[in-house]
Amino acid sequence: MDTFEQLVADGRPREALALWRGPALVDFRGERFARAAAERLEEARLAAIEGRIDAELDAGRHAALVGELEQLAEEHPLREGLRAQLRLALYRSGRQAEALEVYRSTRGRLADELGLEPGEERRELEQAILRQDPALRRRAAAPARTGAVARRAWLLPLVVLLGIGVAVAAVLATRPKQHTAGDLRTFAVKVENVLAQARDGRLAVTRAVDRALHCKVAGTQAAAQIEDVIANRNSLLDQIAALNVPDDAHAQQAASLLQQAAAASFAADVRYRRTLLAARRCPAKLDQVATARADRLKGQFVLVFNPLASRFHLRTWSPADF
């Protein structure tokens, strides 16, 4: 325990947590003397987890944390810190409505079970999400880059996805030929979540471009709005790359097409932003070549994915939806 506490004090929660091997004092939980000690150890473990998650949120890994935080919040429904982290991760992943719903459910549970209201810090986070406080987004972003370095950073996922396609194909080629209906349904639900996030980004880009074309906002302002979408789409690319694709031909094809469509949408957003930044006055039109490619790939994707979604009574999609 001394080593664990020292690692936490040194700001190394990940190494501290690696020392754990299951629940504390599990063999003695029935003994009165062990209960208080076990509870203290469990509290120390959860505090270390929250510290580790804070560090990963600061590093911009919000999308990858959502699944873990959902599980932790379910296991510890009255722990406000974990639920606040879940709200922040959801918001930074472009899922504002879900972030607010987590707050409402937490508030209801605290009131019903303990007769309490969320703490002031949690209420302030809710208000910041409601007003879309830029400070929340800034803390999620990586250190600022400029010029050619920034352009290379934005285009990096396009290069990475080429490697991902090869890697996924190699893994699937060696995977045992078996899957369950549960595996397919889980995959379809996760894809549906990605599409919902992509839809929100597409709507934001459409609004920004339309307002710029009609001279309602300056090109630089519209470009800044699209830049936020680009950041979110980076997290979407991470989510797609992390999908556990079942050994099913339709699922494999859907995953491949989704990767390609997301990459094409990313490229279109980058092109729009560049054009808007270069415009000295309202642009007459924007290049539709990249968008056309994205739409074509989306069309191919929905033809493969919709039958899978229908099988599990999920919504079906059109290319314009996301």
Secondary structure, 3-state, the chain: CHHHHHHHHCCCHHHHHCCCCCCCCHHHCCCHHHHHHHHHHHHHHHHHHHHHHHHHHHCCCHHHHHHHHHHHHHHCCCCHHHHHHHHHHHHHCCCHHHHHHHHHHHHHHHHHHHCCCCCHHHHHHHHHHHCCCHHHHHHHCCCCCCHHHHHHHHHHHHHHHHHHHHHHHHHHHHCCCCCCHHHHHHHHHHHHHHHHHHHHHHHHHHHHHHHHHCCCCCHHHHHHHHHHHHHHHHHHHHHHHCCCCCCCHHHHHHHHHHHHHHHHHHHHHHHHHHHHHHCCCCCCCCCCHHHHHHHHHHHHHHHHHHHHHHHCCCCCCCHHHC
**Which band of pLDDT confidence, cut at 50, 70 and 90, is reported for residue 139?**
very low
End-to-end CA distance of the chain: 50
Q: What is the CATH number of domain 2-139?
A: 1.25.40.10
Site of tokens 């339709």: 250
Backbone φ, ψ for residue 35 (5° rounding): -65, -50
**Which band of pLDDT confidence, cut at 50, 70 and 90, is reported for residue 316?**
very high
CA 198 to chain centre: 11
> Which two structure tokens, joined as six digits, stand for 120?
């002031």
Most confident range (mean pLDDT) of 51-55, 67-71, 114-118, 306-310 is 306-310
Residues 6+ away with beta carbon under 8 Å from 220: 276, 277
**Which band of pLDDT confidence, cut at 50, 70 and 90, is reported for residue 306?**
very high
- Gap between the Cα atoms of 173 and 42, Å rounded: 42
Q: How far is CA 311 from CA 4, 197, 273, 317, 321, in A?
A: 48, 22, 39, 14, 20
> Quick one: pLDDT at residue 282?
76
Share of the chain above pLDDT 90, in %: 9
Provide the 10 A C-beta neighbour count for residue 163. 10
**Which band of pLDDT confidence, cut at 50, 70 and 90, is reported for residue 309?**
very high
Asked if pLDDT for residue 185 goes beyond 70, the answer is: yes
* Mean pLDDT for the stretch of residues 11-24: 68
Residues 129, 94 contacting (CB under 8 angstroms): no
